C-alpha cells in the first residue's frame, strides 16, 4: 500500500487531463445506450388479436382465411373496426365439426381470456411482431 501512495504522490491527483479522458471515453457508451434503450420506446406494437387453439382447426378443416377466423372467433374491441386484444370466444367445435357453414351458430358467446398466443397484422413487420409470436 505504501508503494501506491508514493506513486499517487509522484503522478499527481485526478486532474483536468484525466477528467477529459473519462468524458471522451464515456461519450460513445452513452450514445450507444440510447440506441439500445430506444427500441423500448420506438418499437411499434401492430394491431393484434387473440388466437385460440380451435382457430387452427377452422383453418385446416374449413379452409377459412385468417381474416374470416378472426371475424368469427374474436369479439370486437371498443374502437370501430378493431378486435379485442385480450379475449376470444370460447370455441365449441364438437357441434358443427362437419358443417363449417353452421359454425357461427355453434359458437358459444362466452368471451374467455387469451391463453397467451396472439396473431399480428402482417401488413408490416416490427420488432414486436417478430419477437411476440412464440
How far, in Å, are 10, 56, 94, 117, 131 from residue 79 at the CA level? 72, 26, 32, 22, 26
132 pLDDT tier (thresholds 50, 70, 90): low
pLDDT of residue 28: 92
Per residue in 111-130, pLDDT (tens digit) is 788 877 777 777 777 766 67
DSSP secondary structure, 104-134, as one string: HHH----EEE--S-EEE-TTS--HHHHHH--
Domain assignments of the chain as residue spans, ordered by start: 2-42, 48-132
Query: Which element (helix H / strand E) includes 42?
Result: helix 16-42
| DSSP 8-state class, residue 47 | -
pLDDT in tens, 76-120: 777 766 777 788 877 666 555 555 665 655 555 677 888 777 777
Cα 13 to Cα 105: distance, rounded to the nearest angstrom = 82
Amino acid at each position: 500500500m505504501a508503494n501506491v501512495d508514493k506513486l499517487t504522490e509522484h503522478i499527481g491527483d485526478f486532474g483536468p487531463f484525466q477528467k477529459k479522458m473519462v468524458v471522451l471515453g464515456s461519450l460513445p457508451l452513452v450514445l450507444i445506450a440510447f440506441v439500445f434503450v430506444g427500441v423500448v420506446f420506438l418499437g411499434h406494437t401492430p394491431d393484434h388479436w387473440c388466437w385460440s387453439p380451435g382457430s387452427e382447426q377452422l383453418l385446416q378443416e374449413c379452409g377459412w382465411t385468417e381474416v374470416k377466423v378472426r371475424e368469427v372467433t374474436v369479439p370486437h374491441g371498443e374502437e370501430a373496426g378493431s378486435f379485442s386484444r385480450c379475449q376470444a370466444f370460447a370455441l365449441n367445435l364438437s357441434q358443427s365439426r362437419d358443417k363449417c357453414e353452421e359454425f357461427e351458430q355453434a359458437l358459444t358467446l362466452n368471451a374467455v381470456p387469451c391463453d397467451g398466443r396472439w396473431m399480428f397484422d402482417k401488413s408490416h413487420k416490427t420488432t414486436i411482431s417478430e419477437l411476440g409470436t412464440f
